[in-house]
Amino acid sequence: MKAFQGEQRLRTEGWLAVQDITDEVTEAVRESGVRDGIACVYSPHTTCCVRVNELENGFLEDFAALLRRLVPSDGYYAHDDWERRTENICEEDMERGNGHAHCISMLLGSAGESIPIRDGELCLGTWQRVLFLELDRERDRRWLVQVVGS
């Protein structure tokens, strides 16, 4: 049984900027030596997520429009109300609220994705790519990949 962890750092380009990390995840799977198992790709941030989907600019534009409609950034967010907020104070967030980014993150689901590995390869479908999604502003971020198997 093998277990391997990789970690990568990146600088994102702002709200809903998407970075294709498929090649780095593929490389980590090769480095792990795992032939059959699972790759768990994970964002350790509360306003980012890792998602497996298609990378096509029209689709990303459509998805941004959908999120703007469902979770507008200019609504009232108690998370950004500094007259009320007393927990988890982060100075960086006081300049620019990110309540909408937290709501989007929770709506989109889990922090990461688990992808099967067979014969040493990620079992991605034809159009699937592993994407790192920024849901907040331009920031320094990182992601992890944990590979387990034999």
**Positions that interact with its own copies (CB under 8 A):** 1-5, 35-38, 40, 42-46, 51-59, 61-63, 66, 70-71, 77-81, 84-85, 87-88, 90, 99, 102-103, 105-118, 123-128, 144-146, 148-150
Output 23 or 121, the one with its CB closest to its own copies. Answer: 121
Output 17 or 40, the one with its CB closest to its own copies. Answer: 40
Do residues 148 and 35 make contact, with C-beta atoms less than 8 angstroms apart? no
Dist CA 26 CA 31 (whole Å): 9
Do residues 99 and 79 make contact, with C-beta atoms less than 8 angstroms apart? yes
Return all residues near 131 (Cβ < 8 A) that are at least 6 apart: 18, 19, 20, 21, 50, 51, 52, 53, 55
Do residues 144 and 132 make contact, with C-beta atoms less than 8 angstroms apart? no
Taking alpha carbons only, the member of 123, 150, 138 closest to residue 22 is: 123
Minimal distance in Å, beta carbon 38 to its own copies? 5
Minimal distance in Å, beta carbon 14 to its own copies? 18
Minimal distance in Å, beta carbon 58 to its own copies? 3
Output 13 or 66, the one with its CB closest to its own copies. Answer: 66
Minimal distance in Å, beta carbon 13 to its own copies? 18
Dist CA 4 CA 96 (whole Å): 37
Minimal distance in Å, beta carbon 124 to its own copies? 6
Output 65 or 138, the one with its CB closest to its own copies. Answer: 65
Output 21 or 117, the one with its CB closest to its own copies. Answer: 117
